[in-house]
Each structure stands twice: as structure tokens, then as C-alpha cells.
Amino acid sequence: MTARESWGSRLGFIFAAAGSAIGLANIWRFPFLVGAHGGSAFICIYLLCLFLIGFPVFISEIIIGRAGRSSPADSFERLGNSSWWRKAGMLTIITGFIVSAFYSAVAGWILGYLVEAIRGHLVAFNSAEQAASHYEGLIHHPYWALIYHALFLAASLFVLYFGVRGGIERGNKILMPLLFIVLTILAVQGLRMDGGWKGLHFITSPDWSQLTPMAFLIAMGQAFFTLSVGQGTLVTYGSYIKERENLIQSSWPVIAMDTLASLLSAIIVFSIVFSAGITLQSGPGLIFHTLPIAFGQISGGYLISVLFFLAVVLAALTSEISALEPSVAYLVDSRGWSRHHAVMAVGLGAFLLGVPCALSTSALREVTIQGHSILDLMSMLASSILIPFGALFAVVLVGWRWGIQRGMAQLEQGAEELFEKHPLLLWYFKTCIRYVAPLLILVVFVGTLMAVI
Ligand code: PFF
């Protein structure tokens, strides 16, 4: 048997985990949430959520991964010391797999829009109706969605095929800096446009009246989804971290990069929207209607449209890779498969599960439950139920079942100096992992279910 793979360097892990974290939720969803829930007031509670639960859950999963040194199923079982915990680990792998399927279907549309942008189709709209009818024409076409779903997935599998170091690490080391370069160009360009500063002013002015309990739940959900917690990804990526690596210094840059990407995206979207003088929509409306109308009205719109969709595709690609990896790791570590066979099997499975999602706006449009499409249902199942459960399992496993002392000993390994200098850090992690995070996750869970039902 060959030795288990590991990251070549700390930076390798940081870029891979940041690649996982930064995705559609940063570029597409975050700006809209900021707009809808009180500008910087929302940003404040979002940062609080990152501090109180996002970071502690993130660290718990990395601890489980490094201590377990295997797929999430094995790692959960080892630390939890029972087959029940193995099932909990399995559930996180399944969650990642479900996410990878619908995420690929949605990212396929974005890839399709990148091609539209390159062909110059996104700078030709004069009205919202034109942009909307162009969008409808595309998404009502089953083959369009299917082909781009397949292409996007194939690109992710190509990277996964070359392994942890040769594929994931190398791919992210190229794609992440590229993504930040593109985001920075777009943000600077956005602010230089007439009226662009109004966008920045809008997101930095708080409107506290918009901060409802619902906004709080949404901020927590966003923090979970964007950090890729609760779905086996970080346990798996953590399992490739070396024994003596400092986990804190490997993790905080990931959270910082993820937050920076969200803020840059908000600046980009609002400066474009304000300089074109149009109103912001949510969901598909934002990216497929509002922005294309704006691209047609601003100078340099063609290049900006291409760069924008390129950034979203890159971000989604590195996230998709990380959603597939836990299932690959399961087949390799727990089932003894070769990596190449595992990548093919997981890819085929994700493609098939993604087909009904990709067709949910065309051939399967009529198939709905209480008005929700198959795509909506899968994404709701993952974000409202499976991900909070996965996150809860992680903090309960480290905080209670395996034991907080062992957990903290694992965290201190390689970070002894840091904890000696800042003993408060240990207190922060202990308190949040044991009490604050589990309690708040339960609040989100119950709150979200009550809102959905
Ligand atoms: N964190 C990604 C985003 O912000 O879009 C989403 C994601 C990636 C979810 C990887 C799940 C996952 F395993």
C-alpha cells in the first residue's frame, strides 16, 4: 500500500481550503444578502457569526481530520469510538456529494454564461425584458444545461484525478491567485466608474432596522455554506495536514481570504449596479438579468462581463473539487479503491444526481413539491438540514464525545508557542466549541425549520 497523501506545504492547504470556501455563495449570494439586510449592519452580524460559530466549527473539523487521518467516516468512527459516529461521518460525506451534484448543475449555467459573455451576448440588452428572455431561452433548453453541467464536472474531475498534491494543491495554487487578481481588477474598475463609489457607500452604511431575527439566521447559514463546513470537506482536507503543522496559522488565512472575497464581490456588484443606475434583484435575477443589463451600459462592459463570469467559474470550480473529494477519500481510504477509479465513480454519480437539477428549469420544470423545483429542494435539504447537522456533529464530537482536552491537545500540537503567548485563544476555542457553537447551531436549525414550514 502506498503512503497516504499530504499537502506539500502550509500554503498548499491554505489555497485549497480557501478554494473550497470561496465560491458561488461569496460572489453571487453575499452581495445580495448585504443589499437586502441592511448593508454593513448585515456585514457586522455576519462577522460575528464567523467568530462565534464559523471559525470554531471549521477548526473542529480540521482537528477531527488531522487526528483521524482518514476519510470522514473512519475519522468520525475513530474519535467517536462507535459505529454510530461512523454513520454521522458517512452523512457528512453524502452531504458533500449532494452539494457537488446541484452545485455543478448551477455552476454549469455560469460556465454557459461565460461563453455567452465571450461571444459578446451580454452587452447587448437595453431592457430587463431582453435580458430575461435571453436567460429563459437558454435555461429552458435541456441540452444547454446538461452539456455545461457535464463540462464543468469534467474540469473538476480532471484536477481531482491527479491527486491531493499534484491535482488539488497544484490547481488551487494557480486558480486562487488568478481569482483574486480578477476580483481586484473588477473592484478597482467598479470604483472608477461614474457612481461606483455610491455602491461602496451603500454597503458601508448600516441600516439597523433591517436586522431581523431572520437576517441573523440567514447570516449563520451563509457563514456555514461559505466556509464549506458540515459536509466532510474540511475533515478530509484536514486529514492531509502534517502532524506538526500549526492548525491556527493554517486556518485563519482561509477565513480572512473568504471574507475578503465576499467583500470584494459586494463592492463589484454594487459599484456596477449603482453606476448603471438599476435596482438589485436576488437569486438568478442578480447574475443573469441585473448584471448583464449593467454590462451593456458601462464602459468596458465587454471585458468586465468576461472577467466577472471567469471569476465566478474559477471560484465555483475550486469549491466543486472540494465537495467531491470526501467521497473520493471514502472510496480510497475506507474501501481500498484506486484514486483513479474513485474519481471516475464519484464523477459519474455526481453527474447522474445533477441531471434532474440541471433539467429542473427545462424538461423537469413541472416536477415540483409545494412550488419548489428539484434543484431548490436539494439545495434546501443540504443547507437547512444536512449541513447544520454535520456541523453540530463536528463540535459535539470534539467538544464532548472525544473530549475537549484531547481536542485542544491536537490543536496545540505544532502551535505550542502561539498558545503560550495567547492563553485566551484556548479559552475562546474551548468555550465556542463546547457551548456557543452547538447552542447557536440548534437555534439556527429550529429557526430555519420554523421559517420553512
Ligand atoms: N463554500 C462554497 C461556496 O461558498 O460557494 C460552497 C461549497 C463548497 C459547499 C464545497 C460545499 C462544499 F463541499
Q: Can you tell me which atom of ligand 1 is nearest the CA of 28? A: 5
Ligand 1 in reach of 319 Cβ (< 6 A): yes
CA 39/CA 416 separation, integer angstroms: 39
The sign of the dihedral angle between the CA atoms of 418, 422, 426, 431 is negative
User: Once rounded to an integer, what is the mean pLDDT over residues 30-53?
Assistant: 94
Ligand 1 in reach of 262 Cβ (< 6 A): no
User: Once rounded to an integer, what is the mean pLDDT over residues 356-370?
Assistant: 91
Least confident window among 119-123, 291-295, 326-330, 336-340? 291-295
| Residue 111, helix vs strand vs coil | helix
Average pLDDT value over all residues in the chain = 94
Ligand 1 in reach of 94 Cβ (< 6 A): no
Q: Per-residue pLDDT for 328 more than 70?
A: yes
pLDDT digits (tens, 9 = 90+) for 276-294: 888 777 777 788 888 888 8
Q: Per-residue pLDDT for 60 more than 80?
A: yes
Specify the residue with its C-alpha closest to ligand 1, atom 13: 323
Q: What is the pLDDT of residue 2?
A: 61
Q: Per-residue pLDDT for 299 more than 90?
A: no
CA 327/CA 96 separation, integer angstroms: 8
Q: Per-residue pLDDT for 3 more than 90?
A: no
Specify the residue with its C-alpha closest to ligand 1, atom 3: 23
Domains of the chain from N-terminus onward: 10-452 (1.10.4160)
Q: Which residues, including other chains, have CB under 8 Å from residue 198's CB and lie 6 or more apart?
A: 270, 271, 274, 275
Ligand 1 in reach of 189 Cβ (< 6 A): no
pLDDT digits (tens, 9 = 90+) for 86-100: 999 999 999 999 999
Q: What is the pLDDT of residue 309?
A: 95
What DSSP assignment string belongs to 215-255? HHHHHHHHHHHHHTTTSSHHHHHHHTS-TT--HHHHHHHHH
Q: Per-residue pLDDT for 335 more than 80?
A: yes
Span from the CA of 2 to the centroid of ligand 1 (angstroms): 30
User: Once rounded to an integer, what is the mean pLDDT over residues 130-143?
Assistant: 91
Q: What is the DSSP letter of 3?
A: P
User: Once rounded to an integer, what is the mean pLDDT over residues 165-176?
Assistant: 96
User: Once rounded to an integer, what is the mean pLDDT over residues 391-416?
Assistant: 97
CA 121/CA 143 separation, integer angstroms: 19
Specify the residue with its C-alpha closest to ligand 1, atom 9: 228
Above pLDDT 90, what percent of the chain? Answer: 80
Q: What is the pLDDT of residue 296?
A: 87
User: Once rounded to an integer, what is the mean pLDDT over residues 388-409?
Assistant: 97
pLDDT digits (tens, 9 = 90+) for 231-244: 999 999 999 999 99
Name which residue leads in pLDDT, 426 or 139.
Answer: 426
Query: Is the backbone of residue 300 left (phi > 0), alpha (psi -120 to 50) or beta?
Result: left
Q: What is the pLDDT of residue 151?
A: 98
Q: Per-residue pLDDT for 10 more than 70?
A: yes
Q: What is the pLDDT of residue 448?
A: 78
Ligand 1: which of 20, 92, 229 to mutate, most ligand atoms within 8 Å of CB? Answer: 20
Q: Which residues, including other chains, have CB under 8 Å from residue 91's CB and lie 6 or more apart?
A: 386, 389, 390, 393
Q: Can you tell me which atom of ligand 1 is nearest the CA of 258? A: 4
HSE, side-chain direction, 13 A CA sphere, residue 191? 13
Q: What is the pLDDT of residue 434?
A: 98
Span from the CA of 219 to the centroid of ligand 1 (angstroms): 15
Least confident window among 34-43, 100-109, 282-291, 322-331? 282-291
Ligand 1 in reach of 259 Cβ (< 6 A): no
